[in-house]
Chain A
């Protein structure tokens, strides 16, 4: 069973009286969409604004970025398991996408129980090792993330006062999905200009087998095992044994949240998929959850990933990580386990802040780590003033519009990190 992925490219975005797609131009009825989002129970401060690549603009309080997709045929629904959506396995049939368009959810103070978005005042005071910032610059030195090259519909939405973090998350993310679904729905009855036939079930036994091992942090330590907040697999965020996904499932949003766009449009998944049957067999995506409490658990999880890859017949694995600190140890142990099982690995990772030359580029390393692709890191900034701010609250727009400071330290320039090799961030390499 294959997945036919139909793309409606969005080359420009404008406001208008009817939400529609025509020949690469997406028109959005802002009033209608705002009303749709505002009907969601328990939300307030709902507004929508749009921005395109190259503009002097900054989107703040970013919680998630989602590409509108819709299932036309086949089981399940895109972004499964999120906000009560069904958990039926996806990745088969027909899916349409609005390529180059994204919905950016801008929400105050709720990105999980621990990591909250920063106010403009806090952002200006941010120094080393303090909280990460969550903003997207559409031009200038930090416009190197893929989000800066998208036509973005910024949905500002907050939860009403007095609810707990899970309720607030559910309310605001539900409003976001309503908008995402409504946008994708406008192309439901149309014929996509581009169609890709994704099918990893057909394999050529002469070609090497490759798996993608994607290490993703779980916030269970802070939010508990049943939390819906943070990066999820079919809506599940808890620390678990590794998940095995058919690559096609990624294109239907089986992994989402924090920044959903990274998973539906993952450059490694796309590249491996495009080379499937040509010079490799793309055997699967292993999602290894990280942030375990100690090395014993990390090693167990890493060992399971390697065993899974081996049983799939993998000759090689591309391994990524998604946050620094102890989470990186899980990743390294996975590399070690794979190499010891005879699976050659390539790690793609950022480097740590070098603390003015005092610190090594990686927290830990083992002799098995022979092939590493660095995506850069370290200090970056300052980030020059912008003309327009999207998603600002309560008169803070002027502060956000100003120059934002250099960022260095434990988590680096958080808002412009590159875990998957988008490859546009060499300017902040050491």
Chain B
């Protein structure tokens, strides 16, 4: 299972194993300030990060970053 959250510390605290950082509480999987195309691209990137998370073996709560400039997975709370 992978959970996409705008506040990853919450699923981390309850022990979710794969966590994908979302955008904001009001729009977890996108950004309405972007163009429709940009919003869609971001949406796809987040969902693809979630799919990548599902394919990754983890042994502790792990946060997956959808950022294109920060690919590394981190296992800390923030």
A residues at B contact (CB < 8 Å): 293-299, 326, 329, 332-333, 336, 363-366
Q: B13, A364: Cβ atoms under 8 Å? A: yes
Tell me the minimal C-beta distance from B65 to chain A in angstroms.
11
Nearest-CB distance from B5 to chain A (Å)? 8
> Is the Cβ of B7 less than 8 Å from the Cβ of A295?
yes
Stretch at the interface among B23-31, B36-44, B52-60: B23-31
8 Å CB contacts to A: which residues of B1-55? 6-10, 12-13, 21-26
Task: Kindly identify which residue among A293, A297, A366 contacts B9, using a CB–CB cutoff of 8 Å.
Answer: A366
List 28 A–B pairs whose Cβ atoms lie within 8 Å, in order of A's numbering: A293-B24, A293-B25, A293-B26, A294-B6, A294-B7, A294-B22, A294-B23, A294-B24, A294-B25, A295-B8, A295-B9, A295-B78, A296-B21, A297-B24, A298-B7, A332-B9, A333-B9, A333-B78, A336-B77, A336-B78, A363-B10, A363-B13, A364-B9, A364-B12, A364-B13, A365-B13, A366-B13, A366-B77
Contact residue among A297, A336, A364 (Cβ-Cβ distance under 8 Å from B10) = A364
The A/B interface has a contact count, at CB < 8 Å, of 40
Whether B9 lies near A326 (C-beta < 8 A) is: no
* Chain B residues close to A by CB (< 8 Å): 6-10, 12-13, 21-26, 77-78
Could you tell me the distance in whole angstroms from the C-beta of B4 to the nearest C-beta in chain A?
12
Q: Which residue of B lies closest to A293 (CB)?
A: B24
Q: Is the CB of A326 within 8 A of B77?
A: no
CB-defined contacts of B78 to chain A, threshold 8 Å: 295, 299, 333, 336
- Does the CB pair A329–B9 fall under 8 Å? yes
When chains A and B are docked, how far (Å) is the Cα of A230 from the Cα of B13? 30
Contact B10–A293 (Cβ < 8 Å): no
B8, B9, B24: most-surrounded residue (chain A CB, <10 A): B9
Cα of A226 to Cα of B8 in the assembled complex, Å = 30
Shortest beta-carbon distance from B67 to chain A in Å: 10
The answer on a CB contact under 8 Å between A326 and B25 is yes
A366 and B25 CA atoms in complex are apart in Å by 21
Q: Which residues does chain B contribute within 8 Å of A363, judged by CB atoms? A: 10, 13
Residue of A nearest to B63 (CB): A295
Write out the residue numbers on chain A whose beta carbons fall within 8 Å of the beta carbon of B7: 294-295, 298, 326, 329
Measured CA separation A142–B9 after assembly (Å): 34
